[in-house]
Structure 1
Amino acid sequence: MERVDENSWGTMKPATFRDMGDRRALRDIRNLVGAPSYACAVKKTGLTDNGSSDDKNPTFVARLPVTRNFAATVASKSQPDQQGSSAQHDRFGNESHCKPPAPSMSSSSCPDSSSAVDVDDYSLSNDIASPMVEEKEEMDNSNLREVEMEDLVIETIPDIDGCDLDNPLAVVEYVEDIYTFYRKTEVTSCVRPDYMPHQFDINEKMRAILIDWLIEVHYKFELMDETLFLTANIIDRFLASQTVVRKKLQLVGVTAMFLACKYEEVSVPVVEDLILICDRAYTKEELLEMERLIINTLQFNMSVATPYVFMRRFLKAADSDKKLELLSFFIIELCLVEYKMLEFRPSLLAAAAIYTAQCSLRGFRYWTKTCELHTTYSEDQLLECSRLMVDFHHKAGVGKLTGVHRKYSTFKYGCAAKAEPALFLLNASL
């Protein structure tokens, strides 16, 4: 066997090619790693894909894929002056992963050849390195590492906004920015939980009676949920800044609802209707004067992050149904009546209400990674607030302030008030 100078990548000239006359020796067969096309075993003439002779299809290329792992291994180990050898290594070292071998080439397909040449007759010289044991082991280990990485798949968080891509009202493009803004500004909408001692003529119990009564008024007027939460926020922010005598407290309440209706409702109740529900204890002029006082005290700031805006987002993250939604709102409205709940942020109140409702319906502690991601609150962070909510739920049907319980005991609200409270949370450890 003598070496062919043109085949610089080190193959030996086959015995059948010694007397080829003017026939050109094989050159690059385009099996180099990184070549634009797949590796080619041999270029044949007059063969179709099924191996039959076809004069109209003079060229047939047997394509053999280069596996990704082995190509990367060869490329990392090859030197610049050994690219041809590495490519040949790639071609012959992966026969077990290749397609069936190309059909043999007969003398009829080679016009210049007098004898038949079979692809299987090609052999490698000792100069061409075959896959070593270490390389095979490295390839196997690489494959194992890939499998292990595929097995260790981290739990993916579902896209809760994917179903609303075609809904312009959902503003999917901006919803995350909107709630980032809400979280930054919710502190300004919070009220100091110690403002009541500065009131000389009213107390926490009077505030609770007012809110409980306004919940019934809100229900009778069939107003939007946003209106109720904004009404409570306006009352607390005003009382934290202005002292009010006892006989004017109801006027503050109905005026706050009047302002909230102007901000949230499409159809606003007329002033005469509000005077009527107060049993004509106030005049129209007094209500309009109180409206001016409240709006100037709050500096016309009606855009605040109430628990309602967070409730809608967090319920979506919890993949809620109607039953969970109604029970969550029942619990959060119980919190509106309680003065002590002012110490919690609106976002925390919303998350804790949904968590408490889920525990109540399921009978065990339940808080998913999706809920934790979108609320930014872990289960342990919600537990303190949730225990208070469980206590409110347990006592909602007793006592004098039962407006929320009566509202959510109707079929319109799914009789959510009759759900069993999650009493096991009272004994849960942090």
Structure 2
Amino acid sequence: MELLCCEVDPMRRALPDPSLLYDDRVLHNLLTIEERYLPQCSYFKCVQKDIQPFMRRMVATWMLEVCEEQKCEEEVFPLAMNYLDRFLAVVPTRKCHLQLLGAVCMFLASKLKETIPLTAEKLCIYTDNSIKPQELLEWELVVLGKLKWNLAAVTPHDFIEHILRKLPLPKDKLVLIRKHAQTFIALCATGRRTWSSLEILLQIYRINLDFNFAMYPPSMIATGSVGAAICGLQLDDGDRSLSGDSLTDFLAKITSTDVDCLKACQEQIESVLINNLRQVRQQQQSNPSKTVEELDQASTPTDVRDINL
């Protein structure tokens, strides 16, 4: 008799560990060590001479597209961006090497978070073969050395579940908040996000963010993302503790975040969304034959070569 393996989902993930999720010591330890993994400085001012903020946005958008197309775990992209920012904060880098650096950072992050990590050959294909596998492997050692092999960085994703479990909301609404908060985290890294409401299909926005979000602690980005998601989805159900300043105070206490800083972070996320929505509508009016998705097509991998001059 022939044996057949018909597993539908071989990449099934483990369930959250209650011993970690419901122990406040875990959250406390994350808050204690998170600043170790922030860039040491605003590197565009004091380290990088050849790389500009718009170049970082281009490469970050490309990295997000690769992660989305390869269906990487949600933690891979923010972790790769953490590596990229930490490396750029200590090593002056030529702009022609920026896409190579982005590919190396995805390579390392996927090794840490994926069951089947991205291969060097596949990443080179996404650069339109502008880099070679051997070059990527050589740079992998360079990046590891500059990061001192400290790859288990704290990212905003690490805080999401700890924040959500403390919210007095039913499980179905927490699922919505989680999805939106994870999307906001990608927004803070690259300026691209996907927004979905309860009534309509996905709409894709383009957002041009500056470098300021890279200097925010992961806990603040996570808390601000959850707050923005709750406000955007209007899930307070009349509960005054989950609206306006009361919501900000409630979230700030969870992660011991300064209320004013948290409010500024959340307002920055929300204002960028509003501005971008206005831009998308203007683009739709000027190009009525194109869909929102076509208007928002991010730079293709080969477009990143524009900065390799």
Q: 1:375-427: per-residue Cα shift (whole Å, max 9, x none)?
A: 2236544211111101221234548xxxxx96xx9xxxxxxxxxxxxxxxxxx
State the SS of the aligned residue for 1:395: helix
The residue aligned with 2:24 is 176
Which amino acid in 1 is paired with 2:262?
L
Structure 2: distance between partners of 1:248 and 1:234: 15
Instruction: Using structure 1 for the length normalisation, give the TM-score.
Output: 0.51
Match of 1:218 among 67, 82, 103: 67
State the SS of the aligned residue for 2:163: helix
The residue aligned with 1:252 is 101
The residue aligned with 2:224 is 352
* More displaced 10-residue stretch of structure 1: 358-367 or 207-216: 358-367
Q: 1:8-62: per-residue Cα shift (whole Å, max 9, x none)?
A: xxxxxxxxxxxxxxxxxxxxxxxxxxxxxxxxxxxxxxxxxxxxxxxxxxxxxxx
Which amino acid in 2 is paired with 1:392?
V
Structure 1: distance between partners of 2:35 and 2:229: 25
The residue aligned with 2:128 is 279
- The answer to whether structure 1 residue 387 and structure 2 residue 235 are counterparts is no
User: Would the aligned equivalents of 1:367 and 1:379 in 2 still touch at CA under 8 Å?
Assistant: no
Q: Percent identity?
A: 25
Match of 2:188 among 330, 335, 341: 335
Question: Shift of residue 257 of structure 1?
Answer: 0.3
User: Would the aligned equivalents of 2:37 and 2:153 in 1 still touch at CA under 8 Å?
Assistant: yes
Q: Which runs of 5+ in 2 are unaligned?
A: 1-14, 191-208, 236-242, 281-291, 297-309
The residue aligned with 1:326 is 179
Question: Shift of residue 315 of structure 1?
Answer: 2.2
Which amino acid in 2 is paired with 1:268?
P
Aligned counterparts, 1:409-420, within 5 A: none
Which amino acid in 2 is paired with 1:292?
L
Aligned counterparts, 1:130-209, within 5 A: 169-172=17-20, 175-197=23-45, 198-209=47-58
Aligned counterparts, 1:77-88, within 5 A: none
Structure 2: distance between partners of 1:360 and 1:189: 30
Q: Which runs of 5+ in 1 are unaligned?
A: 1-166, 400-404, 410-430
Question: Shift of residue 293 of structure 1?
Answer: 0.2
The residue aligned with 2:159 is 310
Which amino acid in 2 is paired with 1:389?
I
Structure 2: distance between partners of 1:246 and 1:168: 40
* More displaced 10-residue stretch of structure 1: 375-384 or 290-299: 375-384
Aligned counterparts, 1:10-21, within 5 A: none
Question: Shift of residue 279 of structure 1?
Answer: 0.2
Measured at CA, do residues 367 and 378 of structure 1 come closer, stay the same or move farther in structure 2, by a change above 3 Å?
farther
Structure 2: distance between partners of 1:368 and 1:386: 9
More helix by share: 2
Structure 2: distance between partners of 1:242 and 1:302: 17
Q: 1:222-271: per-residue Cα shift (whole Å, max 9, x none)?
A: 00011111101000000111111111100000110000011111111221
Structure 1: distance between partners of 2:127 and 2:16: 41
Structure 1: distance between partners of 2:231 and 2:142: 43
Question: Shift of residue 190 of structure 1?
Answer: 1.0
Structure 2: distance between partners of 1:279 and 1:388: 35
Instruction: Using structure 2 for the length normalisation, give the TM-score.
Output: 0.70
User: Would the aligned equivalents of 1:351 and 1:375 in 2 still touch at CA under 8 Å?
Assistant: yes
Which amino acid in 2 is paired with 1:356?
A
Aligned length: 237
Which amino acid in 2 is paired with 1:190?
L
Which amino acid in 2 is paired with 1:352?
G
User: Would the aligned equivalents of 1:331 and 1:393 in 2 still touch at CA under 8 Å?
Assistant: no
Which amino acid in 1 is paired with 2:178?
E
* More displaced 10-residue stretch of structure 1: 223-232 or 187-196: 187-196
State the SS of the aligned residue for 2:17: helix
- The answer to whether structure 1 residue 267 and structure 2 residue 116 are counterparts is yes
Measured at CA, do residues 296 and 378 of structure 1 come closer, stay the same or move farther in structure 2, by a change above 3 Å?
closer
Measured at CA, do residues 239 and 381 of structure 1 come closer, stay the same or move farther in structure 2, by a change above 3 Å?
closer
Match of 2:88 among 235, 239, 244: 239
User: Would the aligned equivalents of 1:191 and 1:342 in 2 still touch at CA under 8 Å?
Assistant: yes
Measured at CA, do residues 228 and 384 of structure 1 come closer, stay the same or move farther in structure 2, by a change above 3 Å?
same
State the SS of the aligned residue for 1:394: helix
Higher RCO (CA-CA < 8 Å; seq separation 6+): 2
State the SS of the aligned residue for 1:242: coil
Q: 1:73-110: per-residue Cα shift (whole Å, max 9, x none)?
A: xxxxxxxxxxxxxxxxxxxxxxxxxxxxxxxxxxxxxx
User: Would the aligned equivalents of 2:180 and 2:229 in 1 still touch at CA under 8 Å?
Assistant: yes
